């Protein structure tokens, strides 16, 4: 059953559409070069983030459970709605509230700073009380099912406050958690891929990342260009700490395996990932780059940072992302994916080969786009990217 998006009628208040899980408002839709030096990495590798990692894994796993519950209900509902703008659902809010709350409960002694995608502006408007209550019930139900914090049941006010903890500006000083409560909301609504993406910045560097991908198959998706009707067991959690490698386990277990990016160095054998949504990345540009490189396989289009997770375990070798002119990338769309790939031996740069700099606040300032591959393929990929961009510019 396909779920389309809700058309946005210009009402300045929360639009609870016929789909009770989709919350949207016009305002909300608008809410939308520094390499990790080896010396810094070495310094971090001797630093322990054990407590933070355990808290982040717990937070992301519970948020994944909340999203799975809502996605099941969305897909069982018979609602058709439509929009060409960015959607938000009760699961985005619920996931953000849950992660914010769990991190603060698990790490009570730390100064808490969270840079996250959602805020409660629209939830505070007239008519949004019912939505607030639905989100609060979801959060309390997940906490109760886990048996955590049975001493406290959250009020709607607690939930709204937990969401609003995500307003931090981040930056190059101190520690900041970085969260995308549902990355790939459009994929989530289609029943496809999405991720709960949580990272920790320490002095401007990503030092920890957890990517929960509830719909990603446990086994490789290599060779499968389709994101639909995924067979077999699904639900993966990737996690990395700087200097410690990347690991993955099923969302239903905690027995982790170390993952590594593909070592393929012949582009003819390489496959590449790109956004499912053509509005999020220029598919014509990636196709010209792939052709120049000699890539034979068609692009694998999947939503969200699940692309970084899949690449970190070698399901594909290249990820190309070229937003249309004027779009500014946000740090929560890449921080967790970046460290998951980097710690698995991959390289993530902008289109000019500059490392991504997560220390500049809520946005990433970068040249043209983001490219990801293994160390061996990066030089030829950069050359193909440069040439294709030059050709595109001269053809305009």
The catalytic residue positions are 92, 185
Q: Is residue 303 involved in binding ligand PPS (CB under 6 A)?
A: yes
Count Cβ atoms within 10 A of the Cβ of residue 108 and give its class: 0-12 exposed, 13-18 middle, 19 or more buried: exposed
Element (H, E) at 147: none
Q: Is residue 86 involved in binding ligand PPS (CB under 6 A)?
A: yes
Encode 123-145: b = buried (16+ Cβ within 10 Å), e = exposed: bebeebeebbebbbebbbebbee
Closer to Mg ion at the Cβ: 131 or 262?
131
Q: Is residue 323 involved in binding ligand PPS (CB under 6 A)?
A: yes
Segment contacting ligand PPS (CB under 6 A): 63-71, 141-149, 156-164, 181-189?
181-189
95, 171 in Cβ contact below 8 A?
no
Q: Is residue 277 involved in binding ligand PPS (CB under 6 A)?
A: yes
Residue 395: DSSP 8-state: T
Closer to ligand PPS at the Cβ: 245 or 323?
323
Total interface residues for ligand PPS by CB under 6 A? 22
Residue 144's closest CA among 37, 66, 244?
Answer: 66
Closer to Mg ion at the Cβ: 183 or 202?
183
Segment contacting Mg ion (CB under 5 A): 45-53, 183-191, 367-375, 384-392?
183-191
Query: To the nearest whole angstrom, how small is the minimum distance from the Cβ of residue 181 to Mg ion?
Result: 6
Query: To the nearest whole angstrom, how small is the minimum distance from the Cβ of residue 23 to ligand PPS?
Result: 13
- Residue 283: CB atoms within 10 A of its CB come to 16
**Which token pair is 312?**
């970190």
Q: Is residue 333 involved in binding Mg ion (CB under 5 A)?
A: yes
361, 333 in Cβ contact below 8 A?
no
Give the three-class secondary structure for 15. strand
E strands present in 160-233: 175-183, 195-202, 205-217
Q: Is 78 annotated as a binding residue?
A: no
Give the three-class secondary structure for 70. helix
Which of Mg ion, ligand PPS, none is residue 129 near (CB under 5 to 8 Å by kind)? none
Which of Mg ion, ligand PPS, none is residue 277 near (CB under 5 to 8 Å by kind)? ligand PPS
**HSE value, Cβ hemisphere, 13 Å, CA-based, for 133:** 4
337, 358 in Cβ contact below 8 A?
no
Segment contacting ligand PPS (CB under 6 A): 232-240, 276-284, 310-318, 347-355?
276-284
What residues form DSSP beta bridges with 201?
176, 206
Q: Is 180 annotated as a binding residue?
A: yes
Segment contacting ligand PPS (CB under 6 A): 67-75, 183-191, 206-214, 283-291?
183-191
Query: To the nearest whole angstrom, how small is the minimum distance from the Cβ of residue 244 to ligand PPS?
Result: 26
Among 106, 180, 343, 357, binds ligand PPS (CB under 6 A): 180
What is the footprint of ligand PPS within residues 118-147 (CB under 6 A)?
A: none
Largest CA distance in the chain: 64
Give the three-class secondary structure for 333. helix
Binding site: what residues are annotated? 117, 180, 182-183, 333
Q: Which residues bind ligand PPS (CB under 6 A)?
A: 32, 86, 117, 180, 182-187, 275-277, 279-280, 303-304, 323-324, 327, 330, 333
Binding site for Mg(2+): what residues are annotated? 117, 180, 182-183, 333
């Amino acid at each position: 059953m396909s779920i389309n998006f809700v058309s946005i009628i210009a009402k300045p208040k929360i639009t609870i559409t016929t789909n009770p899980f989709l919350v949207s408002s016009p305002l909300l839709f608008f809410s939308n070069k520094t390499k990790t030096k080896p010396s810094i990495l070495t310094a971090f590798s001797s630093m322990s983030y054990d407590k933070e990692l355990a808290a982040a894994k717990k937070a992301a796993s519970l948020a994944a459970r909340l999203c799975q519950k809502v996605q099941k209900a969305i897909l069982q509902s018979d609602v058709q709605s439509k929009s060409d703008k960015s959607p938000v659902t009760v699961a985005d809010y619920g996931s953000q509230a849950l992660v914010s709350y769990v991190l603060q409960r698990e790490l009570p002694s730390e100064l808490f700073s969270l840079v996250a995608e959602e805020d409660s502006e629209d939830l505070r408007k007239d008519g949004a009380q019912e939505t607030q209550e639905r989100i609060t019930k979801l959060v309390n139900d997940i906490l109760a099912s886990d048996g955590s914090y049975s001493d406290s049941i959250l009020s709607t006010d607690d939930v709204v406050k937990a969401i609003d903890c995500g307003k931090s500006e981040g930056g190059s000083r101190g520690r900041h958690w970085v969260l995308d409560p549902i990355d790939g909301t459009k994929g989530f609504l289609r029943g496809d891929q999405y991720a709960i993406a949580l990272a920790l910045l320490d002095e401007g560097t990503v030092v920890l990342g957890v990517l929960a991908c509830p719909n990603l198959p446990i086994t490789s998706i290599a060779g499968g260009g389709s994101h639909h009707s995924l067979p077999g067991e699904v639900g993966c959690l990737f996690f990395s700490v700087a200097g410690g490698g990347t690991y993955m386990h099923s969302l239903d277990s905690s027995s982790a395996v170390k993952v590594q990016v593909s070592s393929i160095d012949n582009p003819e054998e390489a496959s590449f990932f790109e956004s499912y949504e053509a509005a999020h990345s220029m598919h014509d540009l990636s196709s010209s780059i792939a052709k120049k490189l000699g890539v034979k396989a068609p692009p694998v289009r999947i939503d969200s940072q699940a692309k970084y997770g899949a690449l970190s375990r070698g399901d594909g070798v290249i990820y190309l992302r070229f937003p249309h002119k004027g779009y500014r990338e946000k740090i929560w769309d890449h921080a967790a994916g970046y460290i998951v790939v980097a710690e698995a031996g991959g390289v993530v740069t902008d289109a000019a080969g500059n490392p991504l700099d997560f220390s500049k606040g809520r946005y990433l300032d970068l040249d043209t786009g983001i490219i990801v591959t293994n160390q061996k393929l990066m030089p030829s990929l950069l050359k193909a990217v440069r040439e294709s961009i030059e050709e595109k510019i001269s053809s305009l």
